[in-house]
């Protein structure tokens, strides 16, 4: 299945000059969504991992069904002020501003093998901050799974040696 057919370009969102990759058409097509989760599950099925850290907010959409399929805990990484308990904090920059990511301090245990999951890799700032959260907790990032990778922005270079798996590249 060509998943690119299910991604819509929205120019000048959220700011002028940004070409937003809208995943809504993919989510509205049950076969495309099932195929997406199946591809992630097939790729990560035999890899040793203890948990999945899904990145707010669209990473949750893919992280929850993948965690269910693989029988792994799902740990949310959220923007500042969204988690009620004690958190680890990491600041980062993205292509149109800066922000702070948080993860509960009890989400990842020391020595855990962790998969990061998000919808899109642009410059890599969000995923690098999320990886920092995992490492602060004592976990080890074994890779990053993504629906979309904007390869022309070279976000992989901000992720060090992590295995990066993306279903769609632009």
Q: Which of 15, 42, 58, 86 is catalytic?
A: 58
Task: Name the pairing type of β-strands 97-104 and 140-149.
Answer: unpaired
What is the per-residue DSSP string for 145-158?
Answer: EEEEE-GGG-GGGG
Contact 3, 23 (CB under 8 A): no
- Copy the structure tokens of residue 105: 């301090």
Examine the residue annotation and report whether 58 is marked as an active-site residue of this protein. yes
Q: Which of 15, 42, 91, 95 is catalytic?
A: 95
Distance CA 93, CA 113 (A): 25
Instruction: Give me the residue label for tokens 């690098």.
Output: 128
Select from 4, 10, 8 the least CA-distant residue to 36.
4
Catalytic positions are 58, 95
């Amino acid at each position: 299945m060509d998943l690119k057919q299910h991604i819509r370009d929205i120019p000048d969102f959220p700011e002028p000059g940004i070409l937003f990759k809208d995943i809504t058409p993919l989510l509205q097509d049950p076969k495309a969504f099932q195929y997406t989760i199946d591809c992630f599950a097939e790729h990560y099925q035999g890899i040793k991992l203890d948990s999945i850290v899904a990145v707010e907010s669209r990473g949750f959409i893919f992280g929850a069904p993948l965690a269910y399929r693989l029988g792994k805990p799902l740990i949310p990484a959220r923007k500042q002020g969204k988690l009620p308990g004690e958190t680890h904090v990491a600041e980062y920059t993205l292509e149109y501003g800066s922000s702070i990511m948080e993860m509960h301090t009890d989400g990842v245990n020391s020595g855990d093998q962790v998969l990061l999951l998000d919808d899109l890799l642009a410059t890599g700032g969000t995923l690098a901050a999320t990886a920092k959260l995992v490492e602060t907790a004592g976990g080890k990032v074994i890779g990053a799974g993504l629906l979309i990778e904007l390869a022309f922005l070279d976000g992989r270079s901000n992720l060090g040696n992590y295995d990066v798996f993306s279903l769609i590249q632009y």
